[in-house]
Amino acid sequence: MHQKEGAPLQKHVSGKSDYVKDLVEYIALSLVDDPSSVQVSQERNGNRIRLELHVAKEDMGRIIGKGGRVANAIRVLLRVTSARDGRQVTLDVVEPNS
């Protein structure tokens, strides 16, 4: 399906309830060396959505970035995409146990 110029992408994904989770997963898969270790869990509480991103220990630096820049950039994208729906999304990058 092709998108008309100027039409917001949101119209194509608004029917999907997990589009923010899919966005985080897509970004993480693009950044890591071990895509099989990428897991995103989602917890909802009214208008609030809490996402937890799990990646391999070796990929933590790629996801967090220097000074947290990459993780904060992902959070900004989430804030912008979810604001249209009146939702508040938080992202936690969970440190692996091993």
Nearest Cα neighbor of 23 from 8, 35, 11, 13 is: 13
Q: Which of 5-9, 34-38, 44-48, 70-74 has the lowest mean pLDDT?
A: 5-9
Chain segment 39-48, per-residue pLDDT in tens = 999 999 999 9
pTM above 0.85, yes or no: no
Q: Rounded CA gap, 7 and 9, in Å?
A: 6
Mean pLDDT of 51-78: 96
Mean pLDDT of 21-32: 96
* Domain 16-94, CATH class in plain words: alpha beta
